[in-house]
Chains A and B, each alone.
Chain A
């Protein structure tokens, strides 16, 4: 029988598409990173009751469903002028922690880990989770799956479905957590703290103790001097929602500290002809081009940015790890590959926070919703998604029907810096129009550190998300295409 092979382009063409532009000498001039454009979201939402938004927005992207759900709930609270009772706030935080742990480990073990553990030079067929397991042992795979399963149970308990959480109402929750669920939550939290420490040990053993990998992390290729934006609490420790947004310049000096509601005063957008992503920059500094260094108005978000804007972590074990990072990298750290390290420290903080919440008597309280509405018709919700600042801005009519919305997602904040990081990695491999071996691997490592959300990355069950690099000459003509699929 003739064998027929099906080759999905990908179910949703979720390409990590990169355009590299050369100057007239054939050296790298610019690079742009693009993700799939999904159309018509505003049209889809306008006219719907605002209360539907927390159930709709997790469907935008299967990578950040819980942060979208929580940012949306924050916007709804503001539209209805209510503050959730302490139990509801605690449960939302538990949901956030569970998602943070799951998300960070998926990224580290499935994407970043293979680069380091299997090796950046390894064949792509081996540079994956299976390759990692064959090096680090099958127990690692089992632990990752178990931690993921248990954290998703918690999200399901709170929000109905882990993939597309549906829970949450303006002013609180739809149902309390019964006391009988507490032992399982405690058990999961303890498991996560143990695993978080194990993951950091693995990172130190496999990456930091390897001179070549450490050199890579500290190299100029993966160093990008930008400003940073992230959320902090009243004590300037890392916060994930309910805090202020802090911006520091490339030297660590504070440029702004603002309520997320005022985001439009601080963040501006710019349209470039080569990408449909609107590039963001710091409004007060003005657009200064795709540049790094002291004069840049570009900023980064995500784990490395949170490390740079905050004075420390909010839990003891994570604080110790934060201090170790500072001892090696200093602060601010501009080492793009250190995103991975910061990610693992954050997962530990989330696990410790979950441990604390799991034992808090308030967790199973029954005062879960504040319905003393003072309708405003406008609301901004902001959370730190695992990959960076996520803002939902809604406006409704007097009946609470959606009239306008604006979403600013992490990959948009990071789009220009990702382009710059790719440019720096590419500069080592493209000279005088000649492209050396290794360009794909090294540029992949540069953009992967940001954990960019390709809108549809989770919908590639049958296929995979290929990466495509187009190299264009100084006239914009494609002279070479590199593709991994």
Chain B
């Protein structure tokens, strides 16, 4: 852990669009190595991949003041490729037990209950997935088209100050 802020790409690397968060942090890392401007934007920010769920989430984010998640999502009536940005506490999912694991909000509540130093702010970039059920290491065409938009949006938001954006919900189409 080297910074106060963490960008955490989440997903399964072999389930098509589910991996979009992982690809995003790899792309940001690549850009950081290629461009001084991106290096400045990502200064003091750790980039990590996260391939699981449940209470491991606590281990992944403990100690950071601010965490930005990048993840695939499926919402009622969502259009594949749509990109959303929101605060984690805007998630409708309640803290309840999943068959075998827990969601992020439950993990957070549990971590706070047990005295972990957890971030004050957690933001989410989500990409509406077209296919998370087929084994593949390639994004679906529609999510692939959205991918550059996602990267540009993250960098633009970092440039303008993420917290200001995080006060509301911004949504752009891919």
A415 at the interface (CB under 8 A from B): no
CB of B140 within 8 A of chain A?
no
Give residues 55-113 of B contacting A (CB, 8 Å): 55-59, 69, 71-76, 84, 86, 90-104, 106, 109-110, 113
Determine how close the nearest CB of chain B comes to the CB of A150; give it in whole angstroms.
12
**Complex: chain A residue closest to B171, CB-CB:** A4
Asked whether A111 is an interface residue with its Cβ less than 8 Å from the other chain, the reply is yes
Task: Determine the chain A residues whose CB is within 8 A of the CB of B141 once the complex forms.
Answer: none
Measured CA separation A318–B109 after assembly (Å): 34
Q: Which residues of A are found within 8 Å of B115, using beta-carbon distances?
A: 142
Q: How far is the CA of A10 from the CA of B132 in the complex (A)?
A: 11
- Count A-B pairs with CB separation below 8 Å: 194
If A62-B53, A458-B52, A464-B103 touch, does A128 touch B135 (CB 8 Å cutoff)?
no
- Inter-chain contact A461/B103, CB cutoff 8 Å: yes
A residues in contact (CB < 8 Å) with B: 1, 3-14, 16, 36-41, 43-44, 56, 59, 62-63, 106-107, 110-111, 114, 124-125, 127-130, 133, 138, 141-142, 145, 148-149, 152, 161-164, 448, 451-454, 456-465, 467
B62 to chain A, nearest CB (A): 10
Contact of A464 among B13, B98, B109 (CB under 8 A): B98
In the bound complex, do residue B126 and residue A462 qualify as a contact, i.e. CB atoms below 8 Å apart? yes
Any A CB within 8 A of the CB of B164 = no
- Assuming the A-B contacts A11-B74, A457-B100, are A462 and B106 also in contact, with contact meaning beta carbons closer than 8 angstroms in the complex? no
Chain A residues with CB under 8 A of B56? 152, 162-163
Chain A residues whose C-beta falls within 8 Å of the C-beta of B73 in the assembled complex = 6, 8, 11, 462-463
Which of the residues A11, A14, A142, A148 comes within 8 Å of B71, measured between beta carbons?
A: A11
Interface centre among A36, A56, A107, A457 (most CB of B within 10 A): A457
Tell me the bound Cα distance from A138 to B115 in angstroms: 10
The answer to whether A460 touches B101 (Cβ under 8 A) is: yes
Say how far B78's CB is from chain A's closest CB, in angstroms. Answer: 8
With A and B bound together, what is the CA distance between A164 and B19 in angstroms?
14
Contact A12 B74 (CB under 8 A): yes
Contact B53 A43 (CB under 8 A): no
Select the residue from B94, B109, B133 with max chain A CB neighbours within 10 A: B133
Contact between chains at B75 and A9 (CB < 8 Å):
yes
8 Å CB contact of B113 from A37, A133, A164: A133
**Bound Cα distance from A106 to B52, whole angstroms:** 14
Q: Could you say which of A44, A457, A460, A461 contacts B135, with CB atoms under 8 Å apart? A: A44
B75 & A460 in contact (Cβ 8 Å cutoff): no
Restricting to B12-54, which residues have a CB under 8 Å from any CB of A?
A: 12-15, 18, 51-54
A145 close to B55 (CB less than 8 A): yes
The answer to whether B95 touches A38 (Cβ under 8 A) is: no
Kindly list 6 other residue pairs between chains A and B, CB separation below 8 angstroms, not including A128-B102, A163-B52, A463-B74.
A4-B169, A12-B18, A145-B55, A148-B55, A457-B99, A459-B11
Cα distance A264–B95 in the bound complex, in angstroms: 43
CB-defined A-B contacts under 8 Å, sample of 9: A12-B18, A37-B133, A107-B100, A111-B100, A129-B106, A457-B100, A459-B15, A460-B98, A464-B98
Q: How far is the CA of A207 from the CA of B134 in the complex (A)?
A: 42
- Inside 8 A of B150's CB, which chain A residues have their CB? none
CB distance B96 to A110 under 8 Å?
A: no
A462 and B91 in contact, given A1-B168, A11-B72, A59-B12 (Cβ under 8 angstroms): yes
Chain A neighbourhood of B52, CB < 8 A: 62, 163, 458
Q: Is the pair A461, B92 in contact by a Cβ cutoff of 8 Å?
A: no
Complex interface residues of chain B between 126 and 150 (CB less than 8 A to chain A): 126, 129, 132-136
